[in-house]
């Protein structure tokens, strides 16, 4: 019985110490007013709205192509300053959909993405901008632009990159795709559908406190959708293995 209790207790402690959900956003709102009550709009952008008729599952958040730049977009605070380490990375993940009829043109000129930001005041727009990472579709990059790929951004670092350095750097395509950024102590690891696509160096050790939806820029007429947005702290497999060995050793001592 004591052994069973020890295993259960250590498992609970492991979950508490190594993993935690920071944000789980499914966009399950009855209308835009309900969404606006949770998110913080920086303007009145009618091109970025809740879509009750489409999602994974529905509803989702629709990013149409605005008629002009800087009409406003939605941001949400994470409730504090969160950071990633090698043992406990910080992961932002979301489902991303580019409109079906853009495939033949590779959605040329599209500028739709999600940002993970950090400020000195630990809230969106509070103090100095310390970190800004992004992932989605953009129309330029600083590493030799490839319009068939998705893009990622590391502000204060390598800036925009086409995500094509690793095996997971798949071409843009139709259907729902899962895009994620894993922040460790020294790297940002971009994944598409769970497969590594690019690794970039972290520009600094500052944390992250907010999410921003959309680019607030024109997008050449293309529309994208975002769903199942999450931010969490997750354990690396090595950390779990070490913890498991510690549990076994403790049980044997008892």
**For residue range 75-91, what is the model confidence (pLDDT) as tens digits?**
999 999 999 999 999 99
Place of tokens 């690019």: 198
Domain count within the chain: 2
Same domain, 154 and 127: yes
Query: Is there a single domain that holds both residue 29 and residue 4?
Result: no
Judged on CB neighbours under 10 Å (0-12, 13-18, 19+), 241 is exposed
Half-sphere exposure of 91 (CA within 13 A, CB side): 25
Q: Average pLDDT of 29-50? A: 95
Residue 59's CATH number: 2.60.120.200
pLDDT of 88-110, one tens digit each? 999 999 999 999 999 999 999 99
Give the structural domain span for 146.
Answer: 20-234
Residues 209 and 135 in one domain: yes
The residue count of the chain comes to: 254
Exposure of 117 by Cβ count < 10 A (0-12 exposed, 13-18 middle, 19+ buried)? buried
Same domain, 227 and 246: no
Judge if 201 and 251 occupy the same domain: no
97 and 10, same domain (yes or no): no
């Amino acid at each position: 019985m004591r052994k069973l209790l020890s295993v259960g207790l250590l498992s609970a402690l492991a979950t508490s110490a190594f993993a935690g959900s920071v944000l789980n956003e499914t966009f399950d709102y009855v209308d835009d007013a309900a969404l606006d009550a949770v998110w913080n709009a920086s303007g009145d952008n009618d091109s970025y709205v809740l879509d009750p008729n489409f999602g994974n599952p529905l509803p989702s958040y629709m990013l149409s192509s605005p008629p002009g730049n800087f009409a406003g977009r939605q941001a949400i605070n994470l409730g504090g300053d969160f950071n990633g380490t090698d043992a406990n990375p910080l992961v932002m993940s979301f489902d991303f959909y580019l409109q079906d009829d853009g495939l033949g043109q590779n959605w040329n000129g599209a500028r739709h993405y999600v940002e993970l930001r950090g400020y000195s005041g630990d809230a969106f727009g509070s103090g100095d901008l310390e970190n800004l990472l992004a992932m989605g579709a953009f129309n330029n990059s600083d590493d030799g632009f490839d319009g068939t790929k998705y893009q990622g951004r590391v502000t204060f670092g390598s800036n925009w990159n086409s995500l094509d350095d690793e095996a997971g750097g798949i071409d843009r395509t139709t259907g729902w795709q899962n895009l994620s950024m894993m922040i460790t102590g020294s790297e940002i690891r971009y994944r598409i559908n769970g497969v590594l696509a690019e690794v970039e160096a972290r520009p600094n050790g500052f944390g992250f406190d907010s999410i921003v939806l959309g680019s607030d820029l024109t997008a050449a007429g293309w529309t994208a959708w975002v769903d199942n947005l999450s931010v969490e702290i997750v354990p690396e497999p090595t950390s779990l293995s070490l913890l498991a060995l510690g549990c076994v050793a403790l049980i044997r001592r008892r």
